[in-house]
Every structure is written in C-alpha cells, then in structure tokens.
A and B are shown apart, each in its own frame.
Chain A
Amino acid sequence: MKQLMLGNAAAARGLYEAGVAVVSSYPGTPSTEITEELAKYDEVYSEWAPNEKVAMEVAFGASLAGKRSFCGMKHVGLNVAADPLFTVSYTGVNGGMVIAVADDAGMHSSQNEQDSRHYARSAKLPMLEPSDSGEAYAFAKKAYEISEEFDCPVFLKMCTRVAHSQSIVEPGERVEAGAKPYEKNIAKYVMTPANAIRRHPHVEERMAKLAEYAETSPLNRVEEGRDHGTGIITSSTSYQYVKEVCGDRFPILKLGMVWPLPERKIRDFAASVDRLIVVEELDSFLETYVRELGLAVTGKELFPLLGEFSQNLVAEKLGVPVHTGKALDETIPPRPPAMCAGCPHRGLFYTLSKNKCTVLGDIGCYTLGAAAPLNAIEMTLCMGASVSSVHGYNKALGAESEHKTVAVIGDSTFMHSGMTGLANIAYNQSNSTVIILDNSITGMTGHQQNPTTGFNIKGDPAGKIDLEALCRAMGFSRVRVVDPYDLDACDRAVREELAADEPSVIISRRPCALLKYVRHNAPLRVNTDKCVCCKGCMKIGCPAVSFKDGKARVDETLCVGCGVCAQLCKFGALESTAKEG
C-alpha cells in the first residue's frame, strides 16, 4: 500500500526488507530516524552506540560474522568513524554492510556543512545518493546487493531535504538474508602492513569494476529533454529542484550513484548537448570529476558553494522565470532557538555567567548557552572538544586560567568522546574543572537513550554507567553533584571547584524538562504589587518570562514552575499558582 514516508523511515524500510540483522548508530540530525525506525522491527538487533566509530566497528563485526549490518550517522559523525572506514575499505566485508551518512547543507542543526561525498572518493567506496523517499527505500536495498557483490561497505548518502521530507513509498516484505559463514582469513582481515599492501590492489580493481557497473546501472539514468542547448548533470535534492523548474525541457543525467562515476556515460551525455551544467549543493564534487575528463562544464561559477538550494535559486541561475512574493514592509524580529522553559541547563549557565567564567562548550542543546542574554559559552568545536580543549587552554595559561575556566559537556556527548579528554586531564595533570550537564538523555536529537540513562534503544532496562564512579576511577577525587534548579548550590559548587588546587568534575544533574516522566510544578505568576520592574528575572533568558507594560509577566502555558527566576527576584514577586494546603 502506498504510504507517505519520511526519507529516513523509507531508508529504514529498505534496509529492513533487505534483511539487515545488526544495527549500531549514534544519533545526529538529520540521520537519527533511520535507526529509530529500524529499532521498531523485532527481527533486527538495534542499538545506540556511544559514538560513530564504535557503531561502525560493531557493524563491521556483524558483517565479519556473516550478517547484513548497518550503521548511520550525520556528516560530522563520519569524521569520528573515519578510522575504521578507510581500512574496512581494504578488508572488505562478509555479510553486506551499509553506512548511511546524512549531510546538513544550510546547517539546520550542525556545526559545519561539510560534503561527505569526498569520503567516498578518498576511502574508495561506492556511494548511492537518493533524491526522495522512494529512492531512499530502493537504494537501501540495492546497497546490500552491491556490498556483497563487490566486497565492500556501501554508503547511502542522505541530506536534510531527503532525510526529513516525506514522499510516497510502496513497501514490500522482508526477505531474510542467508548468513554467510565466517571463515578465518588472516590475509584479508588482519591489516598488518604485509597484508594491507596486498589488499590495496584489490581496492583499486574493485573501484574499476564499480566504475563499469556505474556505466550500465539504472541508478544512473538519462532523462530526455526537448532542448539540447543545455544538459544538466545532477543528483539528490538538486535533481528535484531542476525538475521543478525545468520539467522535461533540458536533458538530465540523473546520478543515483555518485561514486565511482560513469566516465563514458558522462562523455556521451556531454557530447549530446551544447552546454553542460552541473547542479550540486555544497562542493564541486561532480563538476571536478567532469573537468578531470577534459570536458567543458559550468558549475560553481554559477551555483553557490554555500547553503541549501531551492527552486527559485535554480531557476534564477538557469535563466528561468523566478516566483516572487511580497514580503511585509516591517522589521520582523528574528526568532532564534532558545533553551526551553524549565531547561535544567539554564541555572548552571546563569551561575557561570554571573561568576564571569570562561566556558569552553560542546555539542548539544546546551550550546544555546552561548545565546543572549546568558552569552556564557565562548567555544564550541566538535563532540568532546570542551574537555580536551580546557586542558590545552589551562596548560597554555596556567594558574591564571585554571581558577576561572570550565568545560561544559552533556552526558551523551561525554560518553561519546569526553571520557578520553578527561583521561588526559587525569594523566597529564592540569587543574581543570569539567562540568557534566547530565539531563539523563540525548536531548538535541530528540531524546535518545545513552550509556548513562539505564535504558536501551527500545526503552528496556540496560547497563548504566555511573558517572561519579567513572570519574573517580580515572583519578578525580573531587567529584560532586548539584541540582541546577538550586542557584545557591550551583554557585557554591562552581566557586569551590574552581578555587580547589586539583582537577574536579561537577555533575549538574536534572532530567530534561521535556521528558515524559518529568513532572512539572504549577506555573509561576507575577504578583504585580511586589514587582518593582528591576528585570532581575530577565537575566536568565527564559522564554516564559517577559516584560509587558512595565512589569514582569509569566506565560503560564510555557512555565513548568522550575523556580529559577523566583530565586533571582529579591522582592518575592514570582509566586507559585499552586493552591496551598
């Protein structure tokens, strides 16, 4: 039956029907729902791994054992998994192995907009790139066939607009993939230099065979057009924009496999048109290849290297009429994302801001601590960098920074790659203060479990890592837990740990206010007789607290009664609406 499916759900359906047996991923927008959807199927073993490197190695282990396996991640997650990636290209696979990577052009929820296609070229692996949910479904299945036929993992490359758009899919039935027995093969799977040097020729031969496959595979198709004055090479969501704007006017070489590329097919297509244009988001990946063939091509001198495309952008660049609308002639204030009302991170960031700490941050909801009015975070780079960088910062500046600089990192990010940085602090001895913002969930990506929560991907009880015991075992004698709703306790903890002459860990612990099991207090209300308009409550940047007609006002539909604003009011004007007694 025809269904509307999110691109990520469609990819999951394809993987499921192809008989995937073992799934290991780390969440990351826009890739997360592939694994969340797979976890709904009981025939598939699914898990959240602590990070993408672990996930890819788990998937490789399952492939080695002869089962079809999968790992999914966002573009920056692939950087973390790059170490196993480049060598699994040499060992090849046993059971089929598919790696989904989702790019985020436009950076809806990312720290950069890198183009993951380069990984296919540099790690010498095939990459399929769907342009809608139907293709995400079909390509996921096809990826296993290619993986087993050519003995290598296969990339399924998504992007925000494919991953997070719904279009029509007609799902089928699961076919169990027969297990391929594991056979000991030291020359293939033990990548010592002597063995790896003999595997490298296999890699190059495989890529040559895959390039031949790309010539004839229906994954790459020419769509005829009426006007051969222009021919367009494109893939992914860019293909959809081109179709929206041009319909069947120009011939299109639509690539479903973006690495390796079909040389003859591209040459033939180029020969059939007067002017060749490549339409691709982010880098000039396809265009560079076409240029290497010595063909005349227009690409990035016309189209931007930055951000997402859209139909109007493609229309304008191709000289097709552009739709125009009439914007309101009025200054519309921006609405940037903000920490939610009742967010447990807010009280801690207020404390850091008040104490004028230098705060090195990390990846998660709490990165919003950099926004006005808190303006607390001064650095965010990548997963785990807060902990490693605070050590480097303190080594560079010594005691003058050690007593006022902190790292802040979430529970899931700490498990992902903060632990190794903490080991470095313990080993190489800087007097650094690390604050773990433990909200008992992976928040930003939409509430995934992690090794500290005590539950697995299906919500069933699982192993639970004790953060305090872990930090103590690494050699930290100063490990303390505070409730971020208690501003006095936060203030004491931050001051005392910064003053201490040894490294310390503060665990700021309170579950995310959006978790279903978290019970909210009655909202607060402003007693306007007591409010003296000092705006003390406005310092924390809570979306539920605003200033109207010279008085503070609480939006009772948003307020969860955390009481942090009330602690800032010296006049007791913020009162609970709970009935007494």
Chain B
Amino acid sequence: METKNIMIVGVGGQGSLLASKLLGHLLLGQGYDVKVSEVHGMSQRGGSVVTYVRYGDKVASPVIDRGEADYIVSFELLEAARWMGYLKPGGQIVTSTQQIDPMPVITGAARYPENLVEKMRAAGAKVDALDCLALAEQAGSSKATNIVLMGRLSHYFDLPEEAWQRSLEAMVPAKFLELNRKAFELGKNA
C-alpha cells in the first residue's frame, strides 16, 4: 500500500501529542509500518505546532511535505488555513472551528482572516468543520477536543469501531476513559 499521510495541526498545548499517540497505536495495530514526527520545546509555547503521522507498507521519511497530506486534522481554524498547502489534491481537512488569536492579532499588528472555512472550500479543499470545543465540553472537559477530532476522523477510515476503542483504552488514563469515549462518539456523530 502506498504511504498515507495525516497531519495534525494546532496551537501548542492543545493536545496534539495524545492524538498522534492514539493514531500511532491504532495503525500499528492494523499491521502497518508507522512513523510519527512531533515538535517539542520552544515551538510548543503557544506557537503553531504540527505533528506528522505516516503509515503504509514501508515508510521512509518521518515528515509530510507540501501537497502530500491525505488528511489535515486541525484543532484551530487559522492553523488549518496555514497548512492547507500541505494537502494532497483531493485531500480532506477535518477542523475544529475554534479560533485562537495569535500574538500579532492580539497586539493589533495583524487581523484574523474571516470566513476561512468558505475560503478553503472555494479554493478546492474538502473541509469538514465542527465546533469540537463545544462537543468536548458537552462530553465533560474542554481538554477532550483532541478525542472529538479523532472521533470525527474515524468517519473517513474503513477501520472497525473496536480498533479505535482499543486504542482509546490503551492511550487514555482509565479515570478519563468514559469521558473520552463520549467525546469520541460526539465527534463521530456530529
């Protein structure tokens, strides 16, 4: 199988590491070769962060380049727009509609662009946009946004529900499992 590429983008501290861990566990369990590349350190301090997940028969590079992503999973709208050039023609964006102002917007040096979902669609991208923060809060914690997104992403994968559930169990602390199962369901059925 040709290598498939998933990019997870967001703002430092939003929980992308858990999302990539979950995907890594899931895809390894399906017998694929998997590589995941993360960002640590300085860039995590509220900066734009990106995690690459690649799987297939044999994966070489740990990173995803322009025009290669089958999926871009985004925790934040501006970040989806920032990384859109990495989407493969015909690729799918799954994004939360949450907006977090970056420092240049906060200081007034720049403006947060409007109507990004419409603009990305007009530019030819397939965009699945949902309010993951509200769904996570509905599940019991704003911190479960990452699992809402994973639930939504599961729509696009031809994988058995049990496989996702097994990975969720393996990667989430037991005391938060029920909350996260709910978050997954809410994302999936949104």
Contacts and interface: CB of A to CB of B under 8 A. Distances in A.
Contacts of B37: 161, 164-166
A45 interface: no
Contacts of B187: none
Contacts of A547: 106, 108
B46 A338 contact: yes
Nearest to B143: A557
Given A109-B42, A327-B84, A340-B46, A546 B106 contact: yes
Contacts of A328: 81, 84-85, 116, 119-120, 123
B63 A325 contact: no
B68 A323 contact: yes
B45 A311 contact: no
A396 interface: no
A6 B106 CA distance: 35
A108 B103 contact: no
Interface stretch (A238-246, A432-440, A478-486): A238-246
Interface string A413-456: 00000000000000000000000000000001110000000000
B176 interface: no
Interface in A260-311: 310-311
Interface in A168-188: 168
Contacts of B189: none
Contacts of B85: 325-328
Contacts of A109: 40-43
B61 A310 contact: yes
B82 A332 contact: yes
Interface in A301-343: 310-312, 323-340
Contacts, number: 195
Interface residues of A, number: 59
B24 interface: yes
B147 to A, nearest CB: 16
B175 interface: no
A331 B113 contact: yes
B102 A165 contact: no
B63 A310 contact: yes
A168 B34 contact: yes
B66 A333 contact: no
**Chain A's interface: helix, strand, loop or mixed, by majority?**
loop
Nearest to A3: B28
Nearest to B66: A325
Contact of B87 (A165, A325, A371, A543): A325
Interface string B28-57: 100001111111111111111000000000
Contacts of B36: 4, 165-167
B155 interface: no
Given A323-B67, A340-B46, A240 B62 contact: yes
A506 B162 CA distance: 57
A373 interface: yes
A555 B102 CA distance: 12
B62 A333 contact: no
B25 A243 contact: no
A185 to B, nearest CB: 42
B1 interface: no
B154 interface: no
Contact of A243 (B60, B103, B109): B60
A44 interface: no
B62 A444 contact: no
A553 to B, nearest CB: 9
Contacts of B105: 333, 546
Nearest to A443: B45
Given A325-B68, A328-B81, A337-B12, A29 B103 contact: no
Given A165-B62, A333-B104, A444-B41, 4 more contacts: A166-B38, A327-B85, A329-B123, A543-B103
8 contacts: A165-B36, A244-B61, A324-B67, A330-B113, A333-B111, A335-B47, A336-B103, A538-B108
